[in-house]
Structure 1
Amino acid sequence: MAPARKVMVVADPTRESAAALQYALSHVVVEHDTIILLHVGNPNSWKNSFLFFKRPSPSTSAAASSTTALGSGGEMDFLEAMKHACEISQPKLHVIVEKVAMDGKEKAAVVLHWSIVYSVDLLVLGQRRSLSNVILGHRRNGALRGLDTAEYLIEHSKCTCVAVQKKGQNAGYLLNTKTQKNFWLLA
């Protein structure tokens, strides 16, 4: 049996982050691994909890599922929903949820710091690629050294870093790492 690994997924309330988690659960982690859901953000926004999905109506069978992550009004925090998805997909997986503040730093620097703190073996994050990113090669919003967060982490992470883009419902994933660019994985 292979030794347990630590896999960190950058968690945000976005489609890209959900795709990264889906990729990690279906292609990366195995039982007894540890998955760390890291959310980097502004603590003021945590007071108004992000919503990942609303509770199904009582007439559906899904309403009988766990309600521990439900907040006021029957809504579920996206981090709790992601943790719940991990527990359903891989029951023997150890799941850690971590919220950290940016404290005036760039998101990429904070993620890099926490990947070192947790000694992760693999870092997985969702990547949004717009046409301007592809053509210009960077974002205009001032990310570190002209790179977007995913590109910065791929280049500077001590562990393997995978940026994931979901391509359609059944079209698979486009993966970027330090050694493989635009690798197509059919799923």
Structure 2
Amino acid sequence: MGGGRITTNTTTASNTTPKKVMVVVDPTRESAAALQYSLSHAVIDCDEVILLHVDNPNSWKNAITTFLKRPNGGPANTATPTDNAASDAGGGGPMDVDFLKEMKKVCKVARPELNVRTARVELEGKDKAAMIMAQTKALDIDLLVIGQRRSLSTAILGYKRAGVAKMLDTAEYLIENSNCTCVAVQKKGQNAGYLLNTKTHRNFWLLA
């Protein structure tokens, strides 16, 4: 396990410059974990939170369908679509934005003082990591948070090929190349805490 400390929050807002925190979201458990971490550990009330979804028109609707059909509706206290959103999925159109609305609602319930907004962009020929990096620069983001699903192969095979800084894992690429601090989040069980990765801290364990 990594040592040291990852400092992404402060205890008071009175003497702190507000920061912009971008959370990469989609309808997955990993995004729910990233949002939970952000709300509980990475932001204070004066901050602005931007929920960014990168839309891949060719694949993301299939991911939503899979997400909504998972058993038992997922774990409690996670940023997931509501039953009403699930019932709308069969109609096509409403589901396109409902999960973003639900995640924003989760933020406002958990942290009413936060300024929360959503943003949605299409890949437009770029890969996901490049699009996220472009948005962090355009919006002058201070902290980027992304959910991460790491397997043994991802950990071993994350490398640069042919001199091009392109990691096999989107989160790893953003950690190494983002112009702002990037935190990749893995939730380790409902109450077990988080495993965090940044450019300077690897496999850092943080209790929930």
Question: Is the structural similarity TM-score above 0.5?
Answer: yes
Q: Give the match for residue 4 of structure 1.
A: 18
> Does the 8 Å contact 1:53/1:78 carry over to 2?
no
Which segments of 5 or more consecutive residues in structure 1 lack a partner in the other structure?
Answer: 55-66
Alignment of 1:14-163 (within 5 A): 14-43=28-57, 50=64, 73=87, 77-137=98-158, 145-163=166-184
- Identity in percent: 62
3-state SS, counterpart of residue 92 of structure 1 = coil
Instruction: Find the residue that maps to 1:146 and give its secondary structure.
Output: coil
Consecutive unaligned residues of structure 2, counting only runs of 5 or more, are: 1-13, 70-81, 90-94
TM-score for the superposition, normalised by structure 2: 0.73
CA RMSD of aligned residues (A): 2.7
Partner amino acid for 1:19? A
Q: Which amino acid aligns with 2:41?
A: H
Q: For 1:85, what is the secondary structure of its paired residue?
A: helix
1-side partners of 2:185 and 2:46: how far apart? 23
- The amino acid that maps onto 1:184 is W
Secondary structure at the aligned position of 2:166 is classed as helix
More strand by share: 1
Asked if 1:185 is matched to 2:199, the reply is: no
In the alignment, is the contact (CA less than 8 A) between 1:37 and 1:79 conserved in 2?
Answer: yes
The TM-score with structure 1 as length reference comes to: 0.81
Number of aligned positions between the proteins: 171
Which string of whole-angstrom CA distances, capped at 9 and with x for unpartnered residues, describes residues 57-92 of structure 1? xxxxxxxxxx9xx66945662111100000001101
Contact in 2 for aligned 1:106/1:144 (Cα 8 Å): no
